């Protein structure tokens, strides 16, 4: 009797030990029913963990919970940057105190604004550059002068008269400088009584020689007339020849066109 009891107890123990293995064989991949058994939350800088166990087959695994990282506030400027020197700033994490991050602020660099004084013809000008970020940073550049005026044309201001001087002026087209020049006075004239012109005795017009036609002129006119007549006579066959050649060319073109149509109709090449 005791032996049977012991065998039954051993059978129950074996069944209990083999139950998880049999149940694990029953779960197919993706069909586990996990339950979280332990959790260590992650902080801003440290990872956490979570343990899970399958309620069907008892399979267990641990999931890593990544750190939540910082949740930074706004940057606070500790030292403003200048044109040449960087500044300094910091910010504080609002999740886990007192995490603080420090960072440099890049230098602003120069941002010059030009104020220009134009040169005149004889005096140089200059350009003054002042940094908009720091007015203490400034420098100048000279603008050379041309060295001479560029005058336009002379213009008469006061005309010269008899015994009175005149005045003319001209102006530089670059700087507006003007110079004047005195015009010499005109000489004075004294009035004299008019004198009557001496009358000459009337003269008779010379007699015209009789007009005669030279023999040479008659011969030249006749020769020119004959030459023009022969030239006109020679031009007549020339124009007839041109007309005949034009008509012949047209007839040949019509013949060639007709022959081409016949060849194309019969398939000849």
Backbone angles phi, psi at 165, to 5 degrees: -75, 150
Q: Is the pTM of this model over 0.95?
A: no
How far apart CA 141 and CA 127 sit, in angstroms, is 5
pLDDT at 2: 59
Cβ contacts of 162 within 8 Å, gap of 6 or more: 185, 186, 187, 188, 189
For 224, the 3-state DSSP assignment is helix
| 118 backbone φψ class: left, alpha, beta (φ>0; ψ -120 to 50) | beta
In whole angstroms, how large is the CA radius of gyration of the chain? 63
Predicted confidence (pLDDT) per residue in 90-100, tens digit: 988 776 556 78
Pairing state of beta strands 155-158 and 166-171?
antiparallel
- Mean pLDDT (whole number) for 207-224: 66
Here the tokens at position 100 are 């603080």
**Sorting pLDDT into bands at 50, 70 and 90, what band is 22?**
very low
Here the tokens at position 117 are 């004084």
Single out the residue of 30, 44, 27, 52 nearest to residue 94, CA to CA. 44
Cβ contacts of 68 within 8 Å, gap of 6 or more: 42, 43, 44, 95
Residues for the chain: how many in total?
Answer: 269
Sign of CA dihedral 151, 152, 153, 158: negative
Q: What percent of the chain has pLDDT over 90?
A: 9
How far apart CA 156 and CA 173 sit, in angstroms, is 17
Tell me: pLDDT of 49 over 80.
yes
Q: How many CB atoms within 10 Å of residue 105?
A: 16
Sequence ranges of the domains in the chain: 76-105, 112-143, 150-187, 232-269
Tell me: pLDDT of 19 over 60.
no
**Sorting pLDDT into bands at 50, 70 and 90, what band is 24?**
very low
Q: 129 near 114, Cβ under 8 Å?
A: yes
Q: 44 near 95, Cβ under 8 Å?
A: yes
Report the mean per-residue pLDDT for the chain: 78
Tell me: pLDDT of 89 over 90.
yes
Tell me: pLDDT of 28 over 80.
no
- Mean pLDDT (whole number) for 133-145: 88
How far apart CA 170 and CA 179 sit, in angstroms, is 6
Question: What separation in angstroms does the CA of 252 have from each of 241, 247, 255, 259?
Answer: 16, 9, 5, 10
């Amino acid at each position: 009797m005791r032996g049977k009891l012991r065998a039954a107890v051993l059978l129950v123990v074996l069944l209990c030990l083999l139950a998880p293995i049999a149940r694990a064989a029953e779960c197919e991949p993706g069909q586990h029913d996990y339950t979280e058994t332990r959790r260590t939350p992650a902080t801003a800088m440290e990872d956490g963990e979570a343990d899970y166990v399958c309620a069907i087959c008892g399979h267990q695994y641990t999931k890593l919970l990544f750190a939540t990282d910082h949740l930074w506030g706004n940057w606070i400027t500790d030292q403003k940057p200048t044109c040449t020197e960087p500044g300094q700033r910091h910010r504080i994490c609002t999740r886990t105190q007192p995490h603080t991050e420090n960072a440099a602020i890049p230098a602003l660099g120069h941002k010059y604004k030009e104020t220009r004084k134009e040169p005149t013809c004889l005096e140089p000008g200059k350009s003054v550059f002042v940094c908009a970020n720091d007015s203490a940073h400034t420098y100048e550049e000279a603008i050379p002068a041309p060295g001479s005026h560029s005058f336009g044309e002379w213009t008469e201001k006061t005309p010269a008269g008899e015994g009175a001087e005149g005045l003319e002026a001209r102006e530089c087209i670059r700087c507006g400088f003007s110079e004047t020049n005195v015009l010499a006075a005109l000489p004075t004239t004294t009035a004299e009584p008019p004198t009557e012109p001496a009358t000459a005795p009337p003269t008779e017009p010379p007699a015209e020689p009789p007009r005669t036609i030279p023999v040479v002129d008659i011969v030249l006119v006749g020769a020119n007339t004959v030459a023009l007549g022969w030239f006109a006579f020679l031009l007549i066959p020339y124009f007839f020849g041109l007309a005949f050649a034009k008509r012949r060319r047209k007839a040949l073109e019509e013949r060639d066109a007709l022959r081409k149509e016949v060849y194309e109709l019969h398939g000849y090449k």
